[in-house]
Amino acid sequence: MRDIKAIIRDMTLEEKAGLCSGQDFWHLKAVERLGVPGVMVSDGPHGLRKQDLSKSSDHLGINDSISAVCFPSACGASASFDRELLTEVGALLGEECQAEDVSVLLGPAVNIKRSPLCGRNFEYYSEDPHVAGQLAAAVIKGVQSKNVGVSVKHYAANNQEYHRMNVSAEADERTLREIYLAAFETAVKEAKPWTVMCGYNKINGEYASEDHWLLTEVLRDEWGFDGCVVSDWGAVNDRVKGLAAGLDIEMPTSGGVTDALIVKAVRDGSLDESVLDTVVERILNLVFKYADNRIQAVFDRDAHHEAAVKAALECAVLLKNEDGALPLKTGSNVAFIGEFAKKPRFQGGGSSHINPSKIDNALDSTAGRAVITYAAGFPADKDEEIAGLIEEAVESAKGKDAAVIFAGLPDIFESEGYDREHMRLPLVQNKLIEAVAAVQPNTVVVLHNGSPVEIPWIGKVKAVLEMYLAGQGAGRAAADLLFGAANPSGKLAETFPLKLSDNPSFLYFPGDGKTAEYREGVFIGYRYYDKKEMDVLFPFGHGLSYTTFEYSNLRLSNANIKDTETLTVSVDVANTGGREGKETVQLYVSDHTNTAVRPLKELKGFAKLSLKPGEKKTAEFTLSKRAFAWYNEAISDWYCASGEYEILIGASSRDIRLSAKLNIESTQLIKMNVTQKTLMEDLLANPKTAGIIKGYIENQPLFSQGESDAASAVINSQMALRMMLEMPLCSIRMFGQISEERLNRLIDELNSQIDG
Ligand code: BGC
């Protein structure tokens, strides 16, 4: 064990301050005289982007990096809904880091997909925080199993690229807690990341890099984070304020400027040196955790490439498959159309851009399986019609058994650094697809994109296979899936709305550049579309297979629980088709207690099962209070009200197969001071006051008149109860049932019950 505290005692103030910012673009500073090495960090998240420091460095993916393996980006990885797969991929990334002497991989990125327009959506997992948190935790466990750290980013509410370095995300605390912080919370609590990267943006007016509430109160004090907070590259505003708020490492180098500010602050007494010492201790712990636990790892690019193909197979989502158009028959005559068949788009632009060791394309990977003709159809890098290409593609599709069009977004359409302008595919691609579908009844479209697109031709094609940006194995995976060598098993971790303006953030995204108002609150993605009963193109959780699954036998361990107890939910799933396949069983919770404005349902569990034909397996979920709770700002805590809840088990958010109800009894007493204005419903909801107040309500003249009274023709007892619930306590005086003095005595009695 190293004596970190002894090293700190030996450090000069300048050395300590120096450790709080980078040496250069990718290294922390060394303190050679004390044996502290200057370790390297690199992007991430879905591959290693290690830049050669003898050449130019940048954080925007401009300069080249070493050859590495590009695994599926988060948009595809999330569609796998496969924790084990992501842990395996994480471990391979960790091996690559060890082999290349990289101490921290800058990812995963767990920001929530608020709008389909965010330029970095391809790097993010989901519109749902449960999916994002669970999958991020899985990756982190994999990477860190190789003694390499991660940096969970971009903390927090960093959901757009427009003015990303100064925009303020304006959201209420409930929305932040339930949606935008939740995935970070899961990642921190379940996987103990070595570092968290704070975002560029402000939250409610405060830069994330100097937000004490965010970096210390929530992250460390509440969630128990014990690693380092690293700034996003250039995210520091006021370095000394940031240090005191909980920002440990500024990246990249500040050229010594901010180190000097820290020294000055300690000298003039505005920063307590003990704060700096705590930060330095955390940084040294990070450095030695890596340096003292090196693993001899090999970076076997070929083996990792095979793993990338395997991962890509799990990420593809079969969105539509009419008349069993897919899989295509071996030996059939098929037209492949679109440059993406030769040059798949498999990753996005910016800091996550990997220099791939190898790229498989669908055209070459199909060799020997079918008679293929190829036509380019359109340029892959822009929205431009090139004379003759559409006509040539249409001719090639005529009379064939099927046509497969490889469509998708050009690089320029989605990237780090700016947002998308619209949700459309290039117009030339839409035109080509319509033209081919007009002559070829078996038209199949393969999509390469990092975020949802509008699909105006959906009714005209037989099948759509969403490949997302599936890494360097995307092409071979597409060929295997198209010809049935593998069975698609991905599900959408986001909704495909019919059109952009349906999206709940549409009116406020991306804001005016100064603020981005999250006025849709917790109603993002399916939480909104479901509540509004809107049609969508493809719902959250949707994804088809070449086989079929039957759900049965939903069991709850108990239909009545306290909020301190856990609930076990089990459901059987059988493969009722003729092929081996995988199904992601989804568990949603619905709150029927009417205590807060909530979505109709929220995903709280998922399990991916692999099933042979005829095989049946049981998916099991354990739910605790948090799965049922909402964030109650009045008590600054998660709250699960007493009453009825429903468990919904689905193959997608809009394909609920089974459901079961349960009752939960809350043990959480909401502190309450009864006054004349306290509402009856609040008194009834509190077990300590409910009994007394029930008696008063039932004795109200509205109730006691009896059903035969003429008044009951106008107001029956049920109606009276509904009215009473929302009346203040003093209303019982209004009905002449109680004197002022007696009312005040009743208030004292209720308050003493609560305190007792
Ligand atoms: C990005 C981060 C990235 C960093 C280093 C920033 O611009 O937002 O995601 O890790 O650069 O390249």
- List, for residues 343-387, the tens digit of each pLDDT value: 999 999 999 999 999 999 999 999 999 999 999 999 999 999 999
Q: In this predicted model, what pLDDT tens digit does every residue of 87-115 receive, in sequence order?
A: 999 999 999 999 999 999 999 999 999 99
Q: Among 63, 65, 102, 106, name the best residue to mutate to test ligand 1's pocket (greatest count of ligand atoms within 8 A of Cβ).
A: 106
Counting from 1 in the atom list of ligand 1, the atom nearest the Cα of 106 is: 10
517's enclosing H/E stretch is strand 515-517
Which of helix, strand or coil describes residue 200?
Answer: coil
**Grouped pLDDT means (10 residues each) for the chain, 756 residues:** 95 98 97 98 95 74 84 98 98 97 98 98 98 98 98 98 97 98 98 98 98 98 98 98 98 97 98 98 98 92 97 98 97 98 95 94 96 97 97 98 98 96 98 98 98 98 98 98 98 98 97 97 98 98 98 98 98 98 98 96 98 98 98 95 97 98 91 91 86 80 58 68 85 78 92 86
Look at the chain and count its residues: 756
* CATH code that applies to domain 549-665: 2.60.40.10
Residues 6+ apart with CB under 8 A from 44: 105, 106, 107, 108, 150, 151, 351, 352
For ligand 1, which residues put their CB under 6 angstroms from it? 43, 59, 106, 153-154, 232-233, 351
Q: What is the pLDDT of residue 747?
A: 93
Distance 58 CA to ligand 1 centre (A): 9
Contacts of 499 (CB under 8 A, 6+ apart): 423, 454
CATH number for the domain running over 305-531: 3.40.50.1700
Tell me the pLDDT tens digit for each residue of 404-446.
Answer: 999 999 999 999 999 999 999 999 999 999 999 999 999 999 9
CA of 232 to the centre of ligand 1 (A): 6
- Neighbour tally for 736: CB within 10 Å: 8
Query: 232 an active-site residue?
Result: yes
Residue 290 Cα to ligand 1 midpoint, Å, equals 21
The Cα–Cα gap between 546 and 489 comes to 9
Burial of residue 148 (number of CB atoms within 10 Å: 0-12, 13-18, 19+): buried
Ligand 1 pocket: which of 351, 354, 415, 419 to mutate (most atoms within 8 A of CB): 351
What lies within 8 Å, CB to CB, of 300 at 6+ separation is: none
Select from 49, 59, 60 the residue to mutate for testing ligand 1; criterion: most ligand atoms less than 8 Å from CB.
Answer: 59
Of 82, 128, 232, 563, the active-site residue reads 232
- Ligand 1: centre distance to CA 483 (Å): 38
Q: How far is the CA of 351 from the centre of ligand 1 (A)?
A: 5
Smallest CA separation from ligand 1 atom 8, residue? 232
Res 253: pLDDT? 96
| Residue 96: partners with Cβ closer than 8 Å, 6 or more residues away | 47, 48, 68, 69, 102, 297, 299, 304
Q: What integer pLDDT is reported at residue 687 of this predicted model?
A: 80
User: Token digits for 128?
Assistant: 């749902």
Q: What is the DSSP letter of 51?
A: B
Global pTM? 0.95
For the chain, the domains span 1-38+253-293, 305-531, 549-665, 680-755
Element (H, E) at 661: strand 655-665
Measured from the Cα of 351, ligand 1's closest atom is: 12
